[in-house]
């Protein structure tokens, strides 16, 4: 089953809307572009709406169902959203075999409760989710998926509470209607630089006052971003940034709620595990 994405991406140079992208179905993804060159290429032209570089190098779609082996006992669908952060969880999917572990990025400062997730290229025009999240400092984790000779970020999350999650819903922006996570359409943000972030709206406002060279220092030049991610601190604020799976694409963000309707986690899925086939 393919899932379609309704996406709105606004770039800082010229505003472009992208709609109707298909969820990436892949068997093998080859990434040959150097990160810096991908970023520079992404800024050269926005004359036509287009899919990311990743779309052009995809081979034949893999329709196999993933087989998940884990010690995680939860049953809330999809279990892999939480199981991927438990060391030793394994996923066999077609020719790909992943072993997962959790990487602790640090604690993000949520000042307003209005959180932005997206590609750093569009930070200036980014809008937050409509959900009002708890205020304070909360851990940010990455679920790293290891293969024989590679390692990728499969999921990123902010943990607000350790309460059991009873349901997952799409993190919505203004004007988006609720849909089931099992729907054939998805809400997602476009990535054209191979990296994503979490940031509070207040921190985003102050970071956008900085010079372009400061932006480049955080998202291009810092070696801590290679294959993983890190927490960047600035003037009493911070942001979490990380690589996005196999690079460019369109990635959905979800909220995990407890039985009282409180947000426990905010999670972005970078499309490595085709859990919607289960």
Alpha-carbon torsion 92, 99, 139, 220, what sign? Answer: negative
CA distance 35 to 154: 18
pLDDT of 248 reads 95
pLDDT of 8 reads 42
CA distance 228 to 159: 18
DSSP string, 33-100: S-HHHHHHHHTT--SS----HHHHTB-SPP-PPPEEE-S----SSSTHHHHTTSTT-EEEETTEEEEE
pLDDT of 193 reads 87
Average pLDDT, the chain: 83
Q: Terminus-to-terminus CA distance in the chain, angstroms?
A: 11
Cα 44 from chain centroid (whole Å): 24
pLDDT of 151-162, one tens digit each? 999 999 999 999
pLDDT of 4 reads 64
The mean pLDDT value for 218-239 works out to: 94
The mean pLDDT value for 170-190 works out to: 96
pLDDT of 119-141, one tens digit each? 999 999 999 999 999 999 999 99
Residues paired with 103 in a beta bridge: 142
Residue 222, pLDDT above cutoff 60: yes
pLDDT of 69 reads 97
Among residues 243, 206, 217, 218, the alpha carbon closest in space to that of 111 is found at 206
Q: Where are the domains of the chain?
A: 4-277
pLDDT of 68-77, one tens digit each? 999 999 999 9
Among residues 81, 75, 139, 85, the alpha carbon closest in space to that of 107 is found at 139
Using pLDDT thresholds of 50, 70 and 90, give the confidence band for residue 1. Answer: low
pLDDT of 93-105, one tens digit each? 999 999 999 999 9
CA distance 200 to 217: 20
Higher pLDDT, 62 or 23: 62
What global pTM score does this model have?
0.81
């Amino acid at each position: 089953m393919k899932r379609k994405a309704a996406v709105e991406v606004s770039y800082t140079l010229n505003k472009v809307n992208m709609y109707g992208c298909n969820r990436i179905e892949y068997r093998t993804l080859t990434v040959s572009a150097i990160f810096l060159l991908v970023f520079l290429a992404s800024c050269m032209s926005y004359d036509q709406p287009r899919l990311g570089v990743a779309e052009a190098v995809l081979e034949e779609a893999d329709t196999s169902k993933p087989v998940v082996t884990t010690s995680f006992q939860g049953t809330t669908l999809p279990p892999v959203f939480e199981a991927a952060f438990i060391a030793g969880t394994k996923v066999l999917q077609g020719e790909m075999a992943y072993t997962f572990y959790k990487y602790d990025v640090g604690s993000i400062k949520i000042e307003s409760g209005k959180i932005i997730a997206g590609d750093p290229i569009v930070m200036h025009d980014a809008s937050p989710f409509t959900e009002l999240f708890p205020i304070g400092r909360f851990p940010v984790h990455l679920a790293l998926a290891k293969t024989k000779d590679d390692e990728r970020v499969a999921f990123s999350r902010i943990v607000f509470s350790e309460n059991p999650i009873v349901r997952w819903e799409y993190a919505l922006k203004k004007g988006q209607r609720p849909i089931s996570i099992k729907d054939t359409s998805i809400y997602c943000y476009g990535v054209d630089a191979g990296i994503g972030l979490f940031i509070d709206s207040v921190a985003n406002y102050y970071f956008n006052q900085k010079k372009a060279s400061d932006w480049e220092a955080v998202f291009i030049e810092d070696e801590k971003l290679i294959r993983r991610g890190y927490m960047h601190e600035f003037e009493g604020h911070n942001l979490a940034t990380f690589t996005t799976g196999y690079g460019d694409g369109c990635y959905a963000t979800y909220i995990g709620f407890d039985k009282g309707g409180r947000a426990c986690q905010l999670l972005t899925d970078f499309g490595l595990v085709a859990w919607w086939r289960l």
